[in-house]
């Protein structure tokens, strides 16, 4: 039987831990059981799941920086629903299948990747760790993971590609100055990016109250590092060095049209993805206008409070694309089972936004690696249990979709 001393010692250790993490105790998004499970001396290797990294990132970061990472818009419900929706999809496991060897490799736009899980574009990563995108790139290198660099990166794409030691994908905001946008595209192509992902879900204006509240709680003087209190990486970051940005007023114009996509298609000589598609109609037109694929994304719930999760949008997009091109998805993916469900509903690859950055904030490169390791372990586990030794065997019949 456990002695009272042992129980109290354990409680004291827990309270000591919580006393250095005041925000953690108040964090509504972190279940008590998860918080209690975090070891007293956390290391990246000892983390059990992705959500534990969120608590540590919150503790490690200044309020405004954590707020920037966490924020959605309005009530942050779309952020939550992106993940919650996965609990309404169930897995149909099959027995008597040889799962002694698993193959998670995937062919994507001409390259074979060891895993369908990739690191999605997250801007300004030096706000989360001094080594920022370089640490993420080194983690991607050590885990052979696909990395998409934001055009709002705080480290140049050339340096990130060097740290990754392989080509990286470039995410692109269509600025309202074509000269600037063209210069970015050409720079990314010169840096060896084989894929450019044009983000289209970020039209001007967003009500990111969580960020605003976090900024109120931050006593530091933001203008010491930021022009106009904004990170401004989409205009003043290293990707824009040598480019005249004086006419750029926003990172996405509000008059984007299908003609714009045609023009972009003409400009981009590598593969072109459209990131931020949530309907079958748009997906169909993107492919008709020459896109090489689409990414079902709502920017991690950071732009508009639609209350519609990306996994709910996925089937109509997959149906509309009809196998003509790959369909990728991001938003709310926190478990290997989430990856499995997205693959079953037709995704070719699955992106992580916040979780690797929680790992980065808490532990640097090792944290990003640990996040990738956990997702890999969880995906492998469910593949074994479900009787699906390859990605090709994770078909629509493997899930019951109650969305």
Ligand X SMILES: Cc1cc2nc3c(=O)[nH]c(=O)nc-3n(C[C@H](O)[C@H](O)[C@H](O)COP(=O)(O)O)c2cc1C
300: contact with ligand X by CB under 6 A: yes
Q: Which stretch binds ligand X (CB under 6 A): 103-111, 237-245, 330-338, 368-376?
A: 330-338
Q: Which stretch binds ligand X (CB under 6 A): 185-193, 212-220, 236-244, 326-334?
A: 326-334
Looking at beta carbons only, is 171 or 210 nearer to ligand X?
171
Q: Please, what is the minimum distance in Å from the beta carbon of residue 289 to ligand X?
A: 19
210: contact with ligand X by CB under 6 A: no
Looking at beta carbons only, is 252 or 365 nearer to ligand X?
252
69: contact with ligand X by CB under 6 A: yes
User: How many residues lie near ligand X (CB under 6 A)?
Assistant: 23
3-state secondary structure the chain: CCCHHHHHHHHHHHHHHHHCCHHHHHCCCCCHHHHHHCCCCCCHHHCCCHHHHHHHHHHHCCHHHHHHHHCCCCCCHHHHHHHHHHHHEEECCCCCCCCCCCECCEEECCEEECCCEEECCCCCHHHCCCCHHHHHHHHHHHCCCEEEECCCCCCCHHHHHHHHCCCCEEEEECCCCHHHHHHHHHHHHHCCCCEEEEECCCCCCCCCHHHHHHHHHCCCCHHHCCECCECCHHHHCHHHCCCCCCCCCCCCCCCCCHHHHHHHHHHCCCEEEEEEECCHHHHHHHHHCCCCEEEECCHHHCCCCCCCCHHHHHHHHHHHHCCCCCEEEECCCCCHHHHHHHHHCCCCEEEECHHHHHHHHHHCHHHHHHHHHHHHHHHHHHHHHHCCCEHHHCCHHHEEECC
Catalytic choice (65, 231, 251, 299): 299
Q: Please, what is the minimum distance in Å from the beta carbon of residue 95 to ligand X?
A: 33
Given 154, 199, 208, 210, the residue binding ligand X (CB under 6 A): 199
Given 115, 171, 210, 309, the residue binding ligand X (CB under 6 A): 171
Looking at beta carbons only, is 331 or 389 nearer to ligand X?
331
Is position 65 annotated as part of the catalytic site? no
Residues taking part in catalysis: 299
List residues binding ligand X (CB under 6 A): 68-69, 82, 120-123, 150, 152, 171, 199, 275, 297, 299-300, 302, 330-333, 352-354
């Amino acid at each position: 039987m456990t002695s009272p001393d042992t129980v109290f010692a354990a409680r004291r250790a827990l309270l000591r831990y919580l006393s250095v993490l005041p925000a953690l105790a108040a964090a509504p998004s972190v279940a008590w059981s998860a918080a209690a499970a975090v070891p007293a001396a956390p290391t990246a290797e000892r983390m059990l799941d992705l959500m534990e990294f969120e608590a540590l990132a919150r503790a490690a970061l200044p309020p405004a920086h954590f707020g920037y990472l966490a924020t959605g818009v309005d009530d942050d419900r779309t952020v939550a629903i992106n993940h919650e929706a996965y609990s309404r999809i169930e897995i149909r496991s099959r027995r008597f299948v040889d799962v002694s060897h698993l193959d998670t490799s995937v062919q994507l736009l001409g390259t074979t990747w060891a895993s369908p899980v990739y690191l999605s574009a997250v801007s300004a990563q030096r706000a989360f760790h001094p080594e920022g995108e370089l640490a993420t790139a080194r983690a991607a290198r050590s885990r052979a993971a696909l990395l998409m660099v934001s055009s709002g990166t705080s480290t140049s794409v050339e340096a990130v590609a060097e740290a990754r030691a392989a080509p990286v994908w470039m995410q692109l905001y269509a600025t309202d100055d074509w000269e600037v946008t063209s210069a970015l595209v050409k720079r990314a192509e010169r840096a060896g990016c084989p894929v450019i992902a044009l983000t289209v879900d970020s039209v001007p204006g967003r009500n990111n109250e969580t960020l605003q509240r976090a900024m109120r709680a931050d006593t530091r003087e933001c203008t010491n590092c930021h022009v106009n209190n904004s990170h401004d990486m989409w205009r003043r970051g290293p990707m824009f060095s040598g480019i005249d940005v004086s006419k750029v007023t926003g990172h996405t114009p509000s008059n984007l049209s299908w003609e714009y996509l045609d023009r972009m298609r003409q400009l981009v000589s590598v593969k072109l993805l459209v990131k931020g598609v949530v309907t079958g109609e748009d997906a169909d037109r993107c492919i008709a206008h020459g896109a090489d694929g689409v990414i079902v994304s709502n920017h991690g719930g950071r732009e508009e409070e639609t209350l519609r999760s990306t996994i709910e949008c996925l089937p109509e997009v997959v149906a509309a694309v009809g196998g003509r091109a790959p369909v990728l998805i991001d938003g709310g993916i926190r478990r290997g089972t989430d990856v499995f469900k997205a693959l079953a509903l037709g995704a070719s690859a699955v992106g992580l936004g916040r979780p690797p950055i929680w790992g980065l904030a808490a532990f640097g490169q090792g944290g990003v690696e640990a996040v990738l390791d956990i997702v890999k372990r969880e995906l492998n586990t469910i593949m074994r249990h479900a009787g699906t030794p390859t990605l090709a065997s994770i078909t629509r019949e493997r899930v019951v979709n109650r969305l």
